[in-house]
Amino acid sequence: MHNRLSIRAAIAGFALGIAAGLAGCASASPPPITPQSTVYAAKAAYATALKGAVAYRNLPACAQPPVMPCRDEVTLEKVRKADVAAAATLDAAELAARSGGSTGVRDDLITAARSAVAAFTELIRHLPTKEQR
Amino acid sequence: MNAIAYVVHLLDVLPQLIAAGVEISAFVREQREKVQRMADERRDPTAQEWDELNAEIARLRGQLHAPDGSGGEGG
């Protein structure tokens, strides 16, 4: 039982480390100063969250009853759908930022991209790591 | 599941989780340094920086969306 508790503590520490890393990338980065660097920073934060998503995807599928850590297929599908939405929004923002088009449209796309990254990052930070759904 | 089986399950999964954590920490550090450098130099990302980041994203998305058991490992 002691070993089980120690390992659970290790997993909790890992999860906190991931969360801190994601939070650091999302909120503690220096303020970007150009539209391109803003989108680049958003994409870097998204890529960081993607790494967490891939780690979750690579867990063994949950059995019945689930033994954590494991991958829940319904949750994974939510992550994949959120990723598709975030990637499309970020690519549109990158295109607008790099092509130097209309400022208003570009700024709207950048705002949308930052929101999409924030939503995706929050989803990854709260992936289930213990017996709760 | 008894305690032994649970520990065996964790031993199977932990190296993957720990490796992912280490890789994420290194990636966060690397990206923060790049963005900081761009801000310090008051410049846009270079084409090469865009290409490298987009290639990494494409690689990760390929793994995330890969069907189970078809090469998603290696995060």
Q: Please say whether the beta carbons of B75 and B26 come within 8 A.
A: no
Q: Answer whether A14 sits within 8 Å of B21, measured CB to CB.
A: yes
Q: Please say whether the beta carbons of A110 and A93 come within 8 A.
A: yes
Say whether pLDDT at A106 is over 60.
yes
Say whether pLDDT at B38 is over 60.
yes
Q: How far apart are CA B6 and CA A67, in angstroms?
A: 8
Alpha carbon A83 to chain centroid, angstroms: 8
Comparing B13 with A89, which gets the higher pLDDT?
A89
Interface contact B55, partner A, CB < 8 A: no
Which of A11, A53, A59 is facing B64, going by the closest CB pair?
Answer: A53
- Cα within 13 Å of Cα(B38), Cβ side: 24
Residue A33: burial class (beta carbons within 10 Å; 0-12, 13-18, 19+): middle
Q: Answer whether A67 sits within 8 Å of B1, measured CB to CB.
A: yes
ipTM, 2 dp: 0.78
Confidence of residue B25 (pLDDT cuts 50, 70, 90): confident
Say whether pLDDT at B63 is over 80.
yes
Express each pLDDT in A28-64 by its tens digit.
Answer: 454 547 889 889 999 999 999 999 999 999 998 888 8
Q: Answer whether B3 sits within 8 Å of A3, measured CB to CB.
A: yes
